[in-house]
Structure formats: C-alpha cells, structure tokens
Structure 1
Amino acid sequence: MPDPPPETRQDLRDLSIRLILLLGAASLCGSLVSNGARSVTGPYILLLGGSAAIVGLVAGAGEFIGYALRSATGIYVGKNHRYWKAATAGYGLLAAIPLLAVAGRWETAAALIVAERIGKAVRTPARDTILSHATTAVGRGWGFGVHKALDQVGAVAGPLVMAAALAVTGGYGVGFLLLGIPLAGVAVALFLAQSEVPRPGRLEGEGEGNRDNLPGIVPYAAFVFLGMAGFASFPLISFHLKAQSIVPDAAIPLFYAAAMTVSVAVALLVGRAFDRIGTHVLLTIPALSIATVALAFSPEPGAAVAGSLVWGAGIGIFEPVLRASIAESTALDRRGKVYGSVSAVFGTAWFVGSAVMGVLYDVSIGHIVAYVVIVEAAAIAAYLWMCRSRIVVRLQEGLGEIIP
C-alpha cells in the first residue's frame, strides 16, 4: 500500500527522522555481526595457517570486491529504483559470518569473509540512496552522521561479544555463532522501515536534487583513492598485535571496540561540521592516516592503543562526509550510479593499500610508514585540485547567469 503524503513540513521531517533511525537500527545490528567478526579476522586467519601477506590480501580483496561491485549495484538501483529489494538481499549475506565457526581452513574463512563483503556491496548503494532522500529535510551531514553513529554502536558491541566469547571459551567458534543472533534485528528494522516509507524518493521534493554540482568527478575520485590507499586496515593492525604478542588475544577485540567508540562521537561531530564547512573536514584524513601507522604498529601497548583510537577517528570522518557530499552534489537520477562508482574507487584503494601494507609488513614497519606518508601527501594535492575544480565550476555557473 503506497505511503500517504505528509501534510506538513514537520510531518516530512518526522518521517525522515524515523526512517534514518530505522535504517540506523538495521545498520547497528548488521555492523554488530560484521565488525564482531572483522575484529578477529587477522588472528583467526593466522590461527588457520595464513601469513601477514595473506591477511592483507584477504582484507584488501574483501574490501575491493565489496566496493567494486557497488558500481554495478548502484547502476541497478539507479535504473530500477528497487532500493528495498537490494538492501534486503545484501543484508541477508551477513549469514556468512556465523559459518566462520565451522571454517577449518584459511581458504574457507577467506571465502566467507569475501561473501559478507559482497553483501555489503549489494545493500550499500540502495541504502545510501534511501538515506540521501531522508536527509533532505534534516541536513545531509547530520542525517548521515547519525546513521554512521548508530552503525558504529554495533561496531563497538560486536567486538565486545567476540572478546567475551574468547575470554570464556578460549576459542573463536562460539563468538561467531553468537554474532548470528542480531540478524533477527536486521530483518525487523528493515521490515518496519519499508513499511514506513515504501517509496523513499517522495521525501525529496520535486525540483530538489535535480542538478549536479559535484566539482569534477576525477579530482574527487583521485582524493578518495589516495586518501584510502594510505588508510591501514584493522585486520593487519590486529595481526601485528597478535604476531608480536603485544596484547593477549582477548584484548584485541577491545582495541577495536575502543576505536569504534571514538568513531561514534567523531561521526556525530563531523556530521554537524559538514553542514557548516562542507568537504574541508576531509583534510584531516591524511594526518590521521599517517598517525595511525606511526602508532598502531608500535611494539608498545600504549602506542598501539593510541593508534587504534586514531584509526577509529578516521573511520568516523571518511564515510559520513563522502556519502553526504554525494547526496548534496548529485542529481537524483544519477545518485545511485555515483554512489556505486565512488564506492568502487574507495574499495579499489582499500584493496591496493591493504595489499601493499601487508607485503611491506614482512619487510619492515618503516616501509609502511614511508608508503603512507607519500600516498597521503599526494591525497592533499588531489584535494587542492578538487577545490580548484569547484572554483572553476562556480565561475562558469556565474558567467552562465550573466551571459545567457
């Protein structure tokens, strides 16, 4: 049954908030499942016989496939507008996580990890497009920031579940099985959200969002690629913590939970910051990336904790601003495609960065730091290129208004 139109602007705002919160609840439960597993994939693969290079390649391949496929799924939802169908199918692949409990080889575990990432590729462009409609009435940055914060609450809870299971049982199997329980919460939240707003496009009024203002897709994509190529993956960080015996196994998920706690607060703050100063908040990413590798790969537990927290701050900044800026700058009929395409760049960068850092780890940590410094310096140059492109676009628009 189609949803009736809101009678007032306040009705529209209230409906948008409810949709954001319901999608946030679905992401919270889903993130609990996926991040609970991701907090230990490094040491788990090591336990099953994998090496540092394999951890880096699996983490990078999972992210690459998960993001690269978003280009195709973004085109699909952009043409067919089957947002809820794609979101539901993608969340369903979270069922791969409990199956890690019975993976006896690192190859099997790797396949399940990649399957879960494929599910994220299927659901994310659809979910983000729905959110882009819902954030019209409440502020792009605030809406995506609240959703990210809720998502990160799950990212905190998941590692705590895994840490408790490790502490009690000494093994990973029970933890992976426990992570299957929140899948019911995902299903309920998605059902309620779709029932509330079957056609999310109606939340963005006619005439709104029908114009492209993205300041050049090439410099924008270049910054995204370089910024993420220098951003370390937590599976490699957790591998380092176990391989060097810096902390006990049961403490590694707690490091991840602490990082996710930081990302919750940062996501809320950066959402408000975006609504005021726009994409300039992205300039913090290069600094955070360099600080992460300098601290997280230290042999000292205190520095490793600090590095994990800095890593969490980076997670809290990048995704909300990326998603909000696309929603703000892309026309409705192209938004799903752009979300998918930029996500593919994002994932390719994560694959390249994770693979390179995994290989460099076997050489020396100093090589990782040098690589990140070089890549992030190039990211700053790409950001300046992006700003210059924005100025050119605005000048052309101004001349177009003066000279018909």
Structure 2
Amino acid sequence: MSQVSTSPAITPARSPARAAGWSAWRVVVGFGMVSLTADMVYEGARSITGPLLGALGASALVVGLVSGAGEAMSLLLRLASGPLADRTGRYWSLTLVGYALTAVCVPLLAVTPFLGGAGLAVAAGLILAERAGKAVRSPAKSALLAQAAGAVGRGRGFAVHKALDQLGAFAGPLLVAAVLAATGVLWPALALLAVPGALAVGLLLRIRRRVPDPAVFESAPAASARSAPSPPTGEVGSNAPAASARPAAGSPSSGALGRWVGADLPRRFLLFAAAAGAATAGLVTFGIISFHASRTGLVTAAGIPLLYAAAMAAAAVAALVSGQLYDRWHARVLFALPLLGAAVPALALSGSLVAVVAGALLWGAAVGVQDSTVKALVADLVPAPRRATAYGVFAAVQGGAALAGGGLVGVLYTRSLAVLVIALGATQLVALGLLAVSLAGRRPTATR
C-alpha cells in the first residue's frame, strides 16, 4: 500500500498560521477540551469499575483480570493502530472511532445491573471495548495534535493539552461521587457520563470540520526556511521523511512487516523509546503507593482519593512547566524524568506520612512529564508520515515495561523494601544512560 502524504503544499488561499479562522493554539486547546470531556467519561467510570463488577458478581480475581487486560489492550493494540493510521492516512477516522467507543461503551454500563446473569459478561466486554477505543484513537490523535503544536512549540502544545486532560481526569470522578452520594446507586452516575461523551465527539467533529488538515500549521516553519540547509536525516525539524530515512530496497526493514512494526523508524527514536521504557519500568505505580499507604495506616481509605487528586494536580503543573522548559532548553529537560522516578519509591514507600505524600506528588509529576513532554520529543524525532506508527511502538514499549516493572515490584515489595528501592533506582540509572545516548549529538529544536 502506498504511503499517504500528510503535508500538502501550502496555497495562498490558506494561511499556514490560521485555517478557516482557527489558529494553531485554538486547535491545540480544542484537542485539549476533547480530552478533558473524554477523560471525565472513562476516568469517572474507572473510579467505580471495581464496585460495579463486584456488584455484578465478580470476584477479586475477575476484577483484576478485566482491569489488567483492559490496560494492556489500551497500550499494546497501539502497535497495530499507529501503523494503520500512517498507512491509510485515516487519522481523523480512527480518532473519531476511538472516542465514539468511549462515549458509547461507558454509559451502556448503566444497563448491566438490569441484565441479570449476563450483566457481568456484558460489563466486562464494554470495559474492554472502551480500552480498545483508547488504543485505536491515541496514536492518530497524537499525530494530529503534533502537527498543530508544531506551530506553537511542541513542548507547550502538549503541556497545555495534558493539563486540560488532567482536569477532566479530576472532574470525572468528582461528578460520579456526587451523583453516587445523591442516589446511592451506581447506574445513574454511569448514565450521566453520556453527556460529556457526546460533548467530546461533538467537539472533535467541529475541529475536523474547521481544520481538516492540521499539517498546514506544521508546514509554516518549513515554508519559511526553504533557503536554509536541509537538516540531516532523522534530525529534528524534518516534516517529511528524507529519502535516506526510508529503508533501502532489499534491506530487512524494507518489507511490509518491518514497516508495520516500525523497524524503519529513526534509530534515535528507538533508543529514546528504550530509555522511556526503562523509566516506566522503574516508576512505582499509584496502586502500590496507595496499597502501602493504606496497609501501613498512614492514609485512611477516604484519604486515598484525595492523595490521587493531589497527584493529578501535580501532573498538570509538571506538564505545563516541563513543556515550557522543553521549548527553551530542548530535550535536556527530560533528564529530570529518571531522577523523579528514582526518588518516588524512596519517599512513597517509607514510614512517614509527609514522605508518602511527597512521593505521591513526585509520582504525579513524573506521569505528567511522561504523558506530555515525552510525546513532544517523539514528534520531533520522527518524520510526520510515520508519527502515528512511532506513537504506537512507543506505547507498546511502555506497556511491556510497565508489566515488567509491576512484576518486579510485586516480587520485591513483600521481601525487602530496601532492595526494591535499590532495584528501581538502578532501572532509572539505565534509563538515564539510554537517554544520554539517544540525545548525544542531537541538534536542538528551533524554538517557535
């Protein structure tokens, strides 16, 4: 299948700085509002998924299997959906399908308590379908966002998007808690989530109608720099794949399978993906943090959601700060990520309430950087027509690393917290080394 171009030539009829009256910033904020409303839907549902499945007759093992399979699907399926977006050029279609699955599947959970014995199976299927929707849309959405953010500074663009996303992740569970407190049953809260779901799809349709091709924003710097020397192959600032960036005919990575799984992606990106994977493996999850805080009696059960909300606020702030610094200092700001990750277990798994709270806030900060500024660098390392593939590969690497890291933490937590802290610190040291190698000799991104 031939590759679809995503960067058409700019004509005088359409300004690269504005499209149909929309500025690049308006598009970035628009995508942020889509994520905000969609996060209200699925984060709101995730806050009561366990109680819902339990009320339908699920055991703890079933709840764990369903939630674990869902998270694995949301990451690993991107290895297929990312290349699919690049090969077909259907970025908008895949983004819409993914958000529509979330908007439909979550409210339908409200009917499962009325289905009798079939309720548990239907609920599990809807939860998995919603997570599949996340996998379908994420690489394509990130590729579209990267194009619009290219005109305003990718660090800032992804940071603002992440901050709005986190606001939805904070508001959704609060909305569900309020409805649950007022009604005393689960299904009305789930049904009400149809409202932000419809808003998310409606906003996305409006953005597509007004700005069908966000590549017009990304082309602006390239158009104004035609007289400048071309950047080296795979270098930051290249919006279209250079000829030498494509695999040579007859090479192992030139086949369809090699392109599908991202074997032709820049070596620097693959090294960075490995570095980010090591950082993810070495980052304690909030599940372990909350388990430790509750088990030791440092935080009450009612205080755990407040601790999580504080961590989400820290994630939003860290995303905004690191995004601004990325556009000024470039990728060097990401050296802070392994340092944050190494500090989290030493604090969050201690016996002090102050240290646990500090560790949870640092965990939130690390998550904020991972979900915003890290994605900005991915966009800068990979040519535009291969970005969705890159985001899919990147997510698959992180998903595998998260599983490996979770297994390591599970084994060591009950044996020795000191050994656990040392092991995770060593993993972050590996991440730091890989990051240094991946960025060695890299020319800084031009600040926009």
TM-score, normalised with respect to structure 2: 0.75
What SS does the corresponding residue of 1:137 show, helix, strand or coil?
coil
- 1:137 pairs, out of 144, 151, 162, with 151
Confirm or deny that 1:64 pairs with 2:64.
no
Give the one of 230, 236, 259 matched to 2:282.
Answer: 230
Output the aligned Cα RMSD.
3.5
Q: 1:341 aligns with which of 373, 388, 393?
A: 393
**CA–CA distance in 1 between the matches of 2:377 and 2:425?**
26
Q: RCO higher in 1 or 2 (8 Å CA, sep ≥ 6)?
A: 1
Equivalent in the alignment of 1:294 = 346
SS of residue paired to 1:209: coil
Note the alpha carbon deviations across 1:307-363, whole angstroms, 9 max, x for none: 222111111111212221122222122222112111211222122223433454454
Correspondences of 1:129-278 after superposition (within 5 Å): 129-165=143-179, 175-205=189-219, 209-211=239-241, 216-242=268-294, 246-278=298-330
Q: Which residue of 1 aligns with 2:33?
A: 25
Does the 8 A contact of 1:163 with 1:251 survive in 2? no
Counterpart in 2 of 1:91? Answer: 99
Q: Which amino acid aligns with 1:187?
A: V
The alpha-carbon distance between structure 1 residues 330 and 299, as it changes in their structure 2 partners (threshold 3 A), is same
Pairing partner for 1:375 from 412, 427, 437: 427
For residues 381-400 of structure 1, what are the structure 2 equivalents within 5 Å?
A: 381-387=433-439, 390-391=440-441
Distance 1:144 1:228, change over 3 A: same
The aligned residue for residue 4 of structure 2 is none
On the 8 A contact 2:40/2:171 being kept in 1, the answer is yes
| 1:210 counterpart letter in structure 2 | A
Further displaced range: 186-195 or 217-226: 217-226
The more displaced of 62-71 and 213-222 is 213-222
Contact 2:341-2:366 at 8 Å conserved across structures: yes
Does the aligned pair in 1 maintain the 2:155–2:373 contact within 8 Å? Answer: yes
Q: Which amino acid aligns with 2:18?
A: D
* Residue 382 (structure 2) aligns with: 330
Match of 2:43 in 1: 35
Which letter maps to 1:97? V
**Is the contact between residue 30 and residue 186 of structure 1 (CA under 8 Å) also seen in structure 2?**
yes
Note the C-alpha offset of 1:134.
0.5
Normalized per residue, the structure richer in helix is: 1
Question: What's the TM-score, normalizing by structure 1?
Answer: 0.82
Seen in structure 2, the aligned counterparts of structure 1 residues 118 and 353 have a Cα distance that, compared at 3 Å, is: farther
CA change 1:369–1:150 in 2 (3 A) is same
Deviates more, 1:255-264 or 1:154-163: 154-163
Segment of structure 1 superposing worse, 378-387 or 99-108: 99-108
Q: Alignment identity in percent?
A: 38
Contact in 1 for aligned 2:94/2:140 (Cα 8 Å)? yes
Report the alpha carbon displacement of residue 272 of structure 1 after superposing the two structures with TM.
1.1
Q: Can you list the C-alpha shifts for 1:32-71, whole angstroms capped at 9, x where unaligned?
A: 22223445667877895426x974x765543332122112
2:18 paired residue number? 11
CA distance in 2, matches of 1:70, 1:22: 23
Question: What is the distance in 1 between the residues matched to 2:302 and 2:387?
Answer: 42
Question: How many Å separate the matches in 2 of 1:220 and 1:352?
Answer: 18
Q: Distance in 2 between matches of 1:360 and 1:42?
A: 26
**Bigger Cα displacement from structure 2, 99-108 vs 252-261:** 99-108
CA distance in 1, matches of 2:190, 2:405: 27
Q: Deviations over 1:182-241 (max 9, x none)?
A: 112111111111111122233332766124795623321210110111223334434445
Do 1:30 and 1:154's aligned partners in 2 also have CA atoms closer than 8 Å? yes
In structure 1, runs of 5+ residues without a counterpart are 395-404
Encode CA deviations 1:46-104: one digit per residue, 9 max, x unaligned. 895426x974x765543332122112111111011111110111112224434556479
Q: Structure 1 residues 300 and 97 mapped into 2: Cα distance closer, same or farther (>3 Å)?
A: farther
The answer on whether the counterparts of 1:63 and 1:348 sit within 8 Å (CA) in structure 2 is: no
Q: Which has the higher Rg, Structure 1 or Structure 2?
A: 2
Contact map agreement 2:16 2:217 (CA 8 A) in 1: no
1:128: how far off? Answer: 0.8
Distance 2:175 2:289 in 1: 19
Using the TM superposition, name which of 320-329 and 172-181 deviates more: 172-181
The letter for the 2-side match of 1:70 is R
Quick check: 1:45–1:106 contact (8 Å CA) kept in 2? yes
